[in-house]
Amino acid sequence: MNIFGSGRFLSHRGKVETEMVGPVSISGESLFSNRWVKAIGIVLACGVASELVYFAYKRIKRMCCDNAVRNNDQKQFVEEVLFFPDAQIACKEFFVGDGCRRLNCRFTHEHNSLSRLYTFLADAKQSLDVCVFVICCADLGDLLVTAHKNNVRVRVICDDEQIDITGSQIWRLRKEGIPVRTDNSSYLMHHKFVVIDGTHLLTGSFNWTRQAISGNQENLVALRNMRIVSQFSSEFEKLWKEFDPKRYNESSLHRYEDLPVS
Ligand SMILES: [Zn+2]
């Protein structure tokens, strides 16, 4: 293909002058291949751009949905009953952490009983008095540690025979500085209740284990009836004193004897 071009030269008068030169020859094959390169480049650029737009759209859409779910879950403490098992484990980071950053989170971001339990515990402002037979769930242990670090007074009572079982959170809690007391008895410390800020209560059959969350039939009642809550508070205080290791020799609650055969 030929096209015309121009050139510059120094005339005999010492001036720079312009004259038409050419025709300039550019091969048709070269121009053709340049066009193809451009076309492919444009297609690739469009493809990448559309991927980026789609990725951003998905991300924004998910953030909007997540915020809606989180906001809805942060409602005030209400009296309700939670039933377990949950079909999926709730994502702790999503409901009470800094937000879930996993693109493919294997935990659910949908409301369920565990997500409510997370919220109840994370909402504690002053105190968490936990009196539960067994504590093996690391996510719930995390919430106690976080509360303790946020200057919430956390106290834990559990059964002495459960503190060394696989997954037990008790030694970890103690290491973090959370006081844990146990019975010292062949009988069981079989309660499952939590008093939150001295004003709210969680009680039921629910132990703090993964099996209770995702396998067992369990219930947990959330109450703020002060008449009931104060009775549980008193029971906690009574056990806290009785389970003081200094009193192991004098308390009637610490005893080892042959249990009756059922
Ligand atoms: Zn998540």
pLDDT digits (tens, 9 = 90+) for 83-136: 999 999 999 999 999 899 999 999 999 999 999 999 999 999 999 999 999 999
* Structure-token match 């936990």, residue found: 130
Residue 58 annotated in active site: no
Distance 66 CA to ligand 1 centre (A): 10
Distance 103 CA to ligand 1 centre (A): 8
- Domains, the chain, in order of start with CATH, read 2-49 (no CATH), 77-247 (3.30.870.10)
Distance 63 CA to ligand 1 centre (A): 12
Are the beta carbons of 242 and 185 closer than 8 angstroms?
no
pTM over 0.75: no
How would you write the pLDDT of the chain (262 residues) with one tens digit per residue?
Answer: 444 444 444 444 445 444 444 444 545 566 567 777 888 888 888 788 878 877 676 666 666 555 555 555 555 678 999 999 999 999 999 999 989 999 999 999 999 999 999 999 999 999 999 999 999 999 999 999 999 999 999 999 999 999 999 999 999 999 999 999 999 888 999 999 999 999 999 999 999 999 999 999 999 999 999 999 999 999 999 999 999 988 876 666 666 665 555 5
Most distant CA pair in the chain, distance: 127
Which residue, among 138, 171, 131, has the nearest Cα to 154 in the 3D structure?
131
Distance of CA 38 to the CA centre of its chain: 47
* Structure-token match 């402002």, residue found: 125
- Distance, in Å, from the CA atom of 167 to the CA atom of 109, rounded to the nearest integer, reads 25
162 Cβ contact list (under 8 Å, min separation 6): 133, 134, 135, 168, 170
* CA-atom Rg of the chain in angstroms: 35
Residue 75 annotated in active site: no
